[in-house]
Structure 1
């Protein structure tokens, strides 16, 4: 091994130290650069968070609540059409598979009900068509999923549309349809059955009414944003509406959305007095709706939030009662069901207490002794949609003016011709909701407007969610109340 002089070793040590010193400087420089980059990214994220928060403060948050199939999603669509942009071609065409599925599901439901009710089809040809429809359903193929049916080739085939057209003309099918309150049938069934010849065309593009009436179950939280003018503010007001599924399994999601809500839009189907829940065939839909309303107004997280109630499907209510449905008898059954549930140990103590209070309210306010006034008649008739007033998506300016004139004339005619039993049923439902509020709040201010505090108010509106003019009028009326509440909450003066 060669010897190395001391001086050489010292030189090598100095070189090594120099290298190590340089490496240390490089390491320090690299760490400093990483730290600076991280600081820049952090500042950028902070600015984005502040910007997003600032933008969010511009939006008034509304929560759309109510039981399943009350019409919440239809109401959201109307808000988009009224205050947002019109549906584009892609959005309309995306609904075609769902419209076909609505037609298919409705006919399957009727055919199954015919078997249960022992209602025969009128001819061997009709039986063959019915069997073909059922063969493509979950009735004969339990392994089929809803997605399988949605994408089924049968639903776009000529045979499918021929089968539906012919079956809808069958007397047995019509008889089963007249008893639709006894099983689960989509509200849009008859509407789409009557339009099959249009829907089957290759060039078919859904109208706004088709999109509004198309039923797609809400299983997630849907957020809709739109801007609207306000009578006392120069700038538009921005709204954010959150729609959550109303089925029992979906309601657990509601509580996650209660923070910073300005108002709750509660949608109630007042035509469902003689129907049961899709998810529970033993529970009356109207009783469930009253129970959900009670839960919403007593939720501590919403104690200072205004409740705007949309009493929906007044057109179906009229159709049912004029067809012979007995509202009084249905209410008696609802009262008995509430009493049974109040003592049923399978329900929680909380639910039993609600059912007990609902039974008391129904017992203390009998329907048969309830009377309506001229003002009640006027309020209902003014809300009721004129025939075919909004079914034309491409009306000219003259057409819209004629529609308004037609509606005005129709309302005058409705005032004198409307069945008093229809008005009484709708008015009584509004009265029941007010009685529930009185039980909860122990305060009563006026006849149409209830306030628990300077911030919480209750409003009631008759609605037909598929009628644009009706919903526009209601939303315009609610808008001013919502904005006023919002300004009061953030401490701004209200004129």
Structure 2
């Protein structure tokens, strides 16, 4: 009987241990789930959303060798596209360029296209032609007018780095990668590990025709990061030349944060391209494009005005959960802000679950 009781006791202890292990395993899963955070990255086209995602990738170990090879081709593609846009502007606006040079640069553009299509790199002769093209007066004049025909500011960066880009062993740096311009179409999701957090970042295309896809991702996200280019207060949409880009960003922001969606998610606003904004306000009036602006035409007053405009149109429930940052997404310093944002997202969600 004693032996039988001992066996039964042993079996009971084993069963208790098994149940304890199951409970511990379940708790570990719950703990793990709390550290899985999802961020929806949205905003109008050309705002810098994808650049923010690239910075997050850089913080998490960067890119594979295969991905870097793809980035090299994208840089060449950008050079091809930028060259074509610049020359087209020169021709359409009758800037002072002789016919021989026009013909030479059209051939150059075709050679850049061939480099992209063949997956090769620039020969020295082609690179020298690109450098001469970039430095010639009509092209520089066209570049100065870039905001009127949607040429990105990154164009100058790549032209000025031709000597490095042309090298057969060229490896893109993080600064190269964040300046690559490829419009986001559809939805791009990146799952990364950052600060012991499994972070799922969902980057949705910002062009008007892409926005209908956003609503599929409005449920169950822990944070919404809305990116607006503050420097584009004087520019028009690519899709609609009658609409001011800042007005579009404000309208879109207020639709998203109208109280119907994201009732528990943290709301983060990046007023991006602050570096360009600080330069632009030195020569371009804010009031001319935004008559409600009453301050001095300075970066400080302008940023304060636009922050208020974004905040004022929000549903009251969101205002206390809004975190606004002025950013320059191409600068590695934005990684400090991203770290702060991630801490904020985690803290807000731990509060919601009663953990803190």
TM-score after normalising by structure 2:
0.83
Aligned to 2:48: 71
Q: 1:476 to 1:154 in 2, by over 3 A?
A: closer
Q: Alignment partner for residue 464 of structure 1, among 302, 324, 328?
A: 328
Runs of 5+ consecutive residues of structure 1 not aligned to the other structure: 1-49, 138-145, 230-235, 333-365, 372-419, 444-448, 452-456
Aligned to 2:71: 95
Q: Alignment partner for residue 104 of structure 1, among 77, 80, 102?
A: 80
* Counterpart contact for 2:272–2:328, Cα < 8 Å: yes
- Does the alignment pair 1:450 with 2:319? yes
Aligned to 1:217: 183
* Structure 1 segments of 4+ aligned residues over 6 angstroms from their partners: none
By how many angstroms is 1:329 displaced?
1.5
Q: 1:466 to 1:135 in 2, by over 3 A?
A: closer
Q: 1:177 to 1:59 in 2, by over 3 A?
A: same
Aligned to 1:430: 307
Deviations, residues 427-478 of structure 1 (Å, cap 9, x unaligned) = 22112112222xx42x7xxxxx932xxxxx0011011111112x22212322
By how many angstroms is 1:251 displaced?
0.9
By how many angstroms is 1:328 displaced?
2.4
Deviations, residues 233-280 of structure 1 (Å, cap 9, x unaligned) = xxx333211111111111111111111111100111111122222222
Q: Alignment partner for residue 485 of structure 1, among 330, 341, 348?
A: 348
Q: 1:149 to 1:200 in 2, by over 3 A?
A: closer
Deviations, residues 143-188 of structure 1 (Å, cap 9, x unaligned) = xxx9x88415797455542332111111111111111111120231
Aligned to 1:360: none
* Counterpart contact for 2:146–2:152, Cα < 8 Å: no
State the alpha-carbon separation in 2 of the partners of residues 287 and 156 from structure 1: 41
By how many angstroms is 1:102 displaced?
0.7
- Does the alignment pair 1:475 with 2:344? no
* Counterpart contact for 2:127–2:162, Cα < 8 Å: yes
State the alpha-carbon separation in 2 of the partners of residues 135 and 475 from structure 1: 40
Q: Alignment partner for residue 80 of structure 1, among 28, 42, 57?
A: 57
* Counterpart contact for 1:268–1:310, Cα < 8 Å: yes
TM-score after normalising by structure 1:
0.61
Q: Alignment partner for residue 270 of structure 1, among 230, 237, 240?
A: 230
Aligned to 2:91: 115
By how many angstroms is 1:117 displaced?
2.5
Aligned to 1:169: 135
State the alpha-carbon separation in 1 of the partners of residues 239 and 127 from structure 2: 29
State the alpha-carbon separation in 2 of the partners of residues 301 and 461 from structure 1: 22
Q: 1:475 to 1:134 in 2, by over 3 A?
A: closer
Aligned to 1:310: 270
Residue correspondences, number: 329
State the alpha-carbon separation in 1 of the partners of residues 108 and 279 from structure 2: 28
State the alpha-carbon separation in 1 of the partners of residues 51 and 42 from structure 2: 13
- Does the alignment pair 1:131 with 2:106? yes
Q: 1:155 to 1:163 in 2, by over 3 A?
A: farther
What does 1:57-456 align with in structure 2 at a 5 Å threshold?
58-82=35-59, 84-121=60-97, 123=98, 125-133=100-108, 150-151=116-117, 156-158=122-124, 160-229=126-195, 236-298=196-258, 300-322=260-282, 324-332=283-291, 366-367=292-293, 369-370=294-295, 421-437=298-314, 440-441=315-316, 450-451=319-320
Q: 1:257 to 1:130 in 2, by over 3 A?
A: same
By how many angstroms is 1:100 displaced?
0.8
SS at match of 1:95: helix
State the alpha-carbon separation in 2 of the partners of residues 57 and 493 from structure 1: 9
Q: 1:472 to 1:131 in 2, by over 3 A?
A: closer
State the alpha-carbon separation in 2 of the partners of residues 155 and 248 from structure 1: 35
Aligned to 2:21: none
State the alpha-carbon separation in 2 of the partners of residues 193 and 450 from structure 1: 43
SS at match of 2:290: helix
* Counterpart contact for 1:277–1:283, Cα < 8 Å: yes
SS at match of 1:326: coil
State the alpha-carbon separation in 2 of the partners of residues 250 and 65 from structure 1: 11
Q: 1:211 to 1:291 in 2, by over 3 A?
A: same
SS at match of 2:232: coil
State the alpha-carbon separation in 2 of the partners of residues 116 and 56 from structure 1: 57
Aligned to 1:14: none
By how many angstroms is 1:88 displaced?
3.7
Q: 1:227 to 1:155 in 2, by over 3 A?
A: closer
